[in-house]
Structure 1
Amino acid sequence: MTRLLSLLLVVLFSANASSNTLLVLGDSLSAGYNMSIEQAWPNLLGDALKNKGKSVTVINGSISGDTTGNGLSRLPSLLKQHNPDSVLIELGANDGLRGFPPQLVENNLKTMIDTIQAQNSQVILMQIRIPPNYGKRYSEAFSQLYPTIASEKSVPLIPFFLEQVIVKPEWMMQDGLHPKPDAQPWIADFMAEQLEPLL
C-alpha cells in the first residue's frame, strides 16, 4: 500500500511538473517580427529552460503592434484558453512610441496584473524602455512606470532584453527597433537565465 501511494505521488508530481506553462504576452519584440514564429525567442525558450533543469511549456501570445490596451483586451480569453501557471508581460513599447499618456499605460498594466493574479497565476513584468522620441522627460517617466508598478504590486521585474541586443548592430534589423533572427537564440538564453529562478 505504501509503495502504491508513493508511486501515485510520483505520478502526480510528474504530471504537475510537466504541465507548468508560461504565457508570453507581448508585441513584435516577442512575436517574431519579419521572421517565422519558429525563429522567435519564445519558441526557443522551452529548450533554453530545459537546459537549466526547468520543464516549461511556453505559449507565445504575442502580436506585432500590440499596445497595453490590446494586451488587456486579449488577456481574459488567453487565460481561459491556456490557464497558465505564469504570465510574462512584455508590453508598452508601442504605447511609448505612440506617445500614449504614462497614466494610461500604468492603469492597463495594473489591470492586467490584477486579472492574472485573480486567476491564481504568477505575474512577471518586463522592464520596457523607449527611444527619446517625445523628449527625455517622457521617456524617463515611461521607464520609471515599470519598477514603480512592480514594487506596488509585489511582482518580479526582469530586465529589458533589447538593451543588450541593440548595442550589436549586426543583431538589429534596419529599422533599429527589432532584433534579427540571429539574435533570437541569445535572447532565449538571456530570458531563461532571468526566468529560471522565478518559475
Structure 2
Amino acid sequence: MKSRDKAPLRWLQWPKVRVQLVLLALALSLFATAQAAAPHKLEPLPPPTVMVFGDSLSAAYGLDASEGWVALTAQRLARAKPGWRMVNASISGETSAGGAARVVNEVARVRPTVVVIALGANDGLRGLPPRETRRNLARMIGAAQGVGAKVLLVGMRLPPNYGSEYTHAFEQNYRDLAKLFDTALLPFLLEPIARDRSYFQADNMHPVAAAQPLLRDHVWRALDPLLK
C-alpha cells in the first residue's frame, strides 16, 4: 500500500526540463483543441449593392456603357447613398430563361441589397408562352429574396400587332408576380419615351443616349424607396 501511495508523486522527481516539456506539450494540445472548436472567421459583408438583371435595354445597346440608364443611375446612387454600389448584370439578347439560369450564382456571389429585374422583353418579341416567362421571373425573384434582397420588378409592353390576348397576358405577368411576391413594380420601363420616335435608334427598339436620363429618372422613382 505504501508503494502505491507514493506512486502518484514520482513525477515530482523528474528532471526540471522534462517537466517543462510535458507542460509545453499539454499547453499546445489545449491550444489546438481550442482552435478546432473556434468558429471560422466570417468574411466581411459586401457594401450595399443594387444589382440589375436586364437585356439590351439595360445593357446600353448601341451606346457607350457609361451612357446607359444603369450607369447614370449608378452615378446618382453614389451621390445619394455614399458607400452603395451598382452592379450591372444585364446581357443584350437575354431572355427570362437566361436570367433564371444564372441568377442563383450571381446573387450568391454579389450578395445584393436590391435586385432590379428588367427581363421579359425578348420573350415577348419571340412570342414565347407567358407562363414560361412567369415561371422564370418567379425563380429570379425567389433567388433574390432568398439572399435577403429587396426586388424591383420592371415590366415591358408589346406592340399591338402581337394580339390583345397575348399582350394582356404578357403585361399581366408582371402585376401578378409583384403581388404574389410582394415586390416593388415599375410597369413599363420605356413609358417616358415610348411615344416619341426621336428617342429611339434606327431599329425603333433601343433608346438613344438622349433618352437614358429620362429612363434613369423613371427607374429612380421606383428604386429610391428600396434604398432605405
Quick one: distance in 1 between partners of 2:216 and 2:154? 14
Aligned length: 183
The structure that has the greater radius of gyration is: 2
Instruction: String of CA shifts for 1:94-126, please: whole Å, max 9, x gaps.
Output: 000001101101111111111111111111111
Higher relative CO (Cα under 8 Å, sequence separation at least 6) belongs to 1
2:124: which partner in 1?
96
Instruction: String of CA shifts for 1:51-91, please: whole Å, max 9, x gaps.
Output: 5x333311110001000000111212211221111100000
1:114: which partner in 2?
142
SS in 2 for 1:174: coil
Question: What is the TM-score of this pair, normalised by structure 2?
Answer: 0.75
Quick one: distance in 2 between partners of 1:154 and 1:49? 24
What RMSD in Å do the two structures reach over aligned CA positions?
A: 1.8
Unaligned runs of 5+ in 1: 1-14
Instruction: String of CA shifts for 1:158-179, please: whole Å, max 9, x gaps.
Output: 2323121122222111221110
2:192: which partner in 1?
164
Pairs within 5 Å for 1:179-194: 179-194=207-222
Instruction: String of CA shifts for 1:16-44, please: whole Å, max 9, x gaps.
Output: 8x921100000011001111111111111
Using the TM superposition, give the Cα deviation of residue 93 of structure 1 relative to its aligned residue in structure 2, in angstroms. Answer: 0.3
From 81, 98, 104, the counterpart of 1:76: 104
Amino acid corresponding to residue 34 of structure 1 in structure 2 = G
1:67: which partner in 2?
95
SS in 1 for 2:57: helix
Quick one: distance in 1 between partners of 2:110 and 2:204? 33
Unaligned runs of 5+ in 2: 1-43
Instruction: String of CA shifts for 1:131-154, please: whole Å, max 9, x gaps.
Output: 133211100111011111111111
Quick one: distance in 2 between partners of 1:59 and 1:109? 19
1:41: which partner in 2?
69
Quick one: distance in 2 between partners of 1:54 and 1:189? 16
